[in-house]
Amino acid sequence: MVWDAAGVTRKVILDVDTGTDDAVAIMLAALHPGLDLAAVTTVNGNVPLPATTDNTLRVLDAIGRPDVPVHPGVAHPIARRGFPGQTHFKRDSDRDMHGTSLPLPAPVTAARDTSAVEFLLHTLRDTTEPVTLVPVGPLSTIATVLAADPSVRDAVDEIVIMGGAHAYGNVTPSAEFNIWADPEAAAMVFSAGFPRLTLVPLDATHQALVTRADCAKLAELGTAAGRAAADLITRRIDAYSAGHGVHAADSAPVHDAVCVAYLVRPEVITTRPVRVEVETAGALTVGRTVMDVRPNATGEPNAQVAFQARAEVLVDLLLTTFGEAGQR
């Protein structure tokens, strides 16, 4: 696969808790010619680990990429037992935007026997080229890898995380789901010293809303990816309309897809360097990403944080990529 002017594709590993928005992110990473999706690793999150792994396999089979290896990851938060990691809405209710199983055929392809933790350790220790890591679920698998060998961060040219919120969360007023579901893991990742950490919080993803009209265009592409994206995003719009709350009618954020879009269309977000710490103790604020945006901020920035995002860039990329992937 050769894509950019220098003839280089970017080697990417996605870490997912698939989920409707993870599904769109996976399709974008698997089908965009500028990305070499080396593997997908899974984690507990939107649904329990067996379902996030099964859903990931469904997505890759549906778009003709069963060759992308899927490695099952960590099934629970690293430091908490019984801490809620599942949906805060009744499963399969009209406000449950994921369901347990995605509405795609059951997978034919099986997950790999090697666990995500083993796979990531071996791959990052042995790689001769930089790897871009894109975690878009709770950070339990990535933190477990770092606990085993912190030096593997040096093989990662950039880690692009969907998570956190500055203005307001979606699980609590303070916390966004991915960080809240495993705050100790998130704290480890933010303090791990990655050479470049890009954070795409709710503040950005809530600006990149995809509409019902966009879904109609995706469906009209007539490709497997276009149809799947239209169905999954429509489900999200229905759930948001039923009470999730968005800023525009008949639209929804597709959080995780914004991270993948950024890899090939960086102008989809606007970032600034900020020091980010994760609250792990506050009774009301556990899982909050505390961002020091003060003019007189103290402490070294450890993240490039997106505070703006452009829906038109995201939608254009989805239409182009899923349209061109029609023959797959």
Catalytic positions, written as ranges: 17
**3-state DSSP of 75-109:** CCCCCCCCCCCCCCCCCCCCCCCCCCCCCCCCCCC
Total of residues contacting ligand RIB (CB under 6 A)? 15
Residue 177 binds which one of ligand RIB, Ca ion, none, with CB within 5 to 8 A depending on kind? ligand RIB
Q: Which residues in the 118-157 window bind Ca ion by CB under 5 A?
A: 136-137
Instruction: Look at strands 197-200 and 131-135 and give their pairing.
Output: unpaired
* Burial grade of 91 (CB within 10 A; 0-12, 13-18, 19 or more): exposed
42 SS3 class: strand
The one segment of 52-60, 174-182, 236-244, 275-283 that binds ligand RIB by CB under 6 A? 174-182
Give the Cα separation of 321 and 132 in Å (integer). Answer: 20
Cis peptide bond N-terminal to 19, omega within 30: yes
In the complex, residue closest to ligand RIB by CB: 177
DSSP 251-319: EEE-HHHHHHHHHH-GGGEEEEEEEEEE-SS-TTTTT-EEEE--TT--S---EEEEEEE-HHHHHHHHH
Query: Per rule CB under 6 A, is residue 287 in the interface with ligand RIB?
Result: no
Binding mask 177-216 for ligand RIB (x = CB under 6 A): xx--------------------------------------
Query: Per rule CB under 6 A, is residue 21 in the interface with ligand RIB?
Result: yes
DSSP assignment letter at 182: S
Residue 128's CB is within 10 A of a number of other CB atoms, namely: 5
Among 53, 170, 223, 321, binds ligand RIB (CB under 6 A): 170
Q: Which is nearer to ligand RIB, 62 or 259 (CB)?
A: 259
Q: Which is nearer to ligand RIB, 73 or 137 (CB)?
A: 137
Report angle CA 254, 134, 3 to the nearest 5 degrees: 90
The one segment of 14-22, 33-41, 47-55, 222-230 that binds ligand RIB by CB under 6 A? 14-22
Among 15, 22, 182, 203, binds ligand RIB (CB under 6 A): 22
CB of 174 to ligand RIB, least distance (A): 13
CB of 137 to ligand RIB, least distance (A): 5
Please say whether the beta carbons of 233 and 20 come within 8 A: yes
Binding mask 221-260 for Ca ion (x = CB under 5 A): -----------------------------------x----
Residue 185's CB is within 10 A of a number of other CB atoms, namely: 29
Among 13, 14, 17, 139, binds ligand RIB (CB under 6 A): 17
Nearest to 114 by CA among 53, 29, 189: 53
The one segment of 74-82, 139-147, 171-179, 266-274 that binds ligand RIB by CB under 6 A? 171-179
Residue 247's CB is within 10 A of a number of other CB atoms, namely: 9
Judged by the rule CB under 6 A, the positions of this chain that interact with ligand RIB are 17, 19, 21-22, 45-46, 136-137, 162, 170, 176-178, 255-256
Judged by the rule CB under 5 A, the positions of this chain that interact with Ca ion are 17, 19, 22, 136-137, 256
